[in-house]
Amino acid sequence: MPTQWKRSPEELHKTYIANTEAFYRVAGRDLAAQMDEFCVTCATQLFARSASLGQEHADAVNALYSKGQPKPGWLLWGLSSAVGKSGEFLPPLFFWSLTEKDARQGTDSSRVFIRMLTNILLCLAAADDDVTYAEAEYITECADKLAALCDGAGVKKGKPGLRAADFVTSAEPSFLEKNPPRAGTANGAGQGQNQDQGQDQGQAANGKEPEKPDLDGLLAELDGLVGLEKVKKDVKSMMNLVKVRKLRQDAGLPVPPLSLHMVFLGNPGTGKTTVARLLSGLYAAIGALSKGQLVEVDRSGLVAGYVGQTAIKTQEVVASALGGVLFVDEAYSLASGGENDFGREAIETLLKAMEDHREDLVVIVAGYTGPMERFLSSNPGLESRFNKRIFFEDYDGDELNAIFHMQCRKNGYELDEEAEAYAGEFFRAMYANRDGNFGNGRDVRNQFEDMVVRQADRVAAMEKPTKEDLVRFVKEDFAAGDRD
């Protein structure tokens, strides 16, 4: 179906000039080069969502130049390569300055910019006389990210822009879906982290629901964890609560409000991330979450360096966690920088997301007990939403020894008789002498890796090592100081 937004290259250039000139009147013509570069980048990202790529797209991107700026000279092969390597939308640096200026002066030029960009992108999307759902989603994403910057800076509200979804003419697969990049290309290099999501989307496209995690297998894995008996009991109690609540709902009985958000308290290396991963799968298995993935972040994954950008960064992380668990490690660092720290913006964004997506998102915040208590008391919204706390105790010497033996079995190593007797003594001493930097299971893993190196040095010096030599730890492998 034809679209009303199609323009010839000459008409598109006039449209571009008309829109950008209005912007330069408020922002200054010295931004023209940056503006043209930004719009060309948007065009390559947009065309990755187009159903096809042809000469009309090269002609369209060559129309994106301001008065006094050089005309681009894209050829189709070069544009195809740029589209294949295109990344995700990022607001231009000049837009942040524009929002701050608007906030100071009470103007809304940044809101006008969003409407202007939406118009330009719709014209670009229609270069082939077709606007796909994927193109409309990209245009909406651009507008939403820019609007979040405006909101974060306190820019006054303006009139709403056009809804790109209203102008969709087809639902054809995108150019990149039809022409996936080969392994090792710039665009394919970062796809591993989204592999599970891509599999889910592929299953949905085939009319199949993503497989639910195996409840019995996850429970067996939980029970197989060393120690953590109180943690296991708390997790199973939460699951029972969710199950009974669902049964009451199915029976038409009233159900009290239920928050699945949690605080994990304890020292590093006590299994907090592992339990969070199992919990996300368990909740999905019993129907409390739709997917069951775990997204793990810390402060650096949520907080950015510019006003308004933190909200966007946090929202993107939340979006990747929908249907599963968002695990925020060392969460207390979000509230450690004072009133003007961007970490507080991340907290507010998280709180809003927890309210907006309370039916299909679980947030777990984790960290040392003392700092986490202060973190929760720093914001009334945190205390009210995180009302379930699970404490992870340090592993004792015998549990550390059991974790070490699990590492050995997993990696094909065994201990001779003398080393076996010494192992218990070694890990009990590790626990007894622990200090504030004690890493629990992390220290065990480091010890195991050090022993692998020492064992390799020892075996390499043998003239003809046997298979038993290759897999055996001896007492002297525990520490360099124990050698004769």
Between 16-30, 39-53, 134-148, 306-320, the lowest mean confidence (pLDDT) is in: 306-320
Q: What are phi and psi of 46, to 5 degrees?
A: -65, -45
Distance CA 62, CA 160 (A): 29
pLDDT band at 192 (very low <50, low <70, confident <90, very high): very low
Q: What is the dihedral of CA 189, 193, 195, 198, to 10 degrees?
A: -100
The predicted pLDDT at position 275 comes to: 92
Percentage of the chain beyond pLDDT 70 is 87
Report the relative pairing of strands 294-297 and 388-392 from DSSP bridges: unpaired
Distance CA 36, CA 118 (A): 15
pLDDT band at 170 (very low <50, low <70, confident <90, very high): low
Predicted structure pTM score:
0.55
Arithmetic mean of pLDDT, 344-367: 88
The predicted pLDDT at position 42 comes to: 94
Q: Which two tokens stand for residue 424?
A: 């218990």
Mean pLDDT of the chain: 83
Arithmetic mean of pLDDT, 456-478: 89
Between 59-68, 82-91, 206-215, 391-400, the lowest mean confidence (pLDDT) is in: 206-215
Q: Which amino acid is at 401?
A: N
Arithmetic mean of pLDDT, 282-302: 87
Note whether 30 and 36 are within 8 A (CB): no
The predicted pLDDT at position 308 comes to: 66
pLDDT band at 191 (very low <50, low <70, confident <90, very high): very low
Helix then strand count (H, E) for the chain reads 21, 7
Neighbours of 224 (CB within 10 A): 8
The predicted pLDDT at position 254 comes to: 83
Taken in order of first residue, the domains within the chain and their CATH numbers are 9-178 (no CATH), 215-392 (3.40.50.300), 397-482 (1.10.8.60)
The predicted pLDDT at position 2 comes to: 55
10 pLDDT more than 80: yes
Between 209-223, 263-277, 417-431, the lowest mean confidence (pLDDT) is in: 209-223
The predicted pLDDT at position 338 comes to: 60
The predicted pLDDT at position 326 comes to: 93
Arithmetic mean of pLDDT, 100-119: 89
Which whole-number Å values give the CA distances from 212 to 236, 261, 287, 292, 336, in the listed order? Answer: 18, 21, 9, 8, 39
**Tens-digit pLDDT profile for residues 33-89:** 999 999 999 999 999 888 788 889 999 999 999 999 999 998 887 888 788 877 788
The predicted pLDDT at position 183 comes to: 39
b/e code 41-78 from CB counts within 10 Å (16+ = b) = bbbbbbbbbbbbbeebbbbbbbbbbbeeeeebebeeee
The half-sphere exposure of 84 on its side-chain side, counting CA atoms within 13 A, is 17
Higher-confidence position of 221 and 189: 221
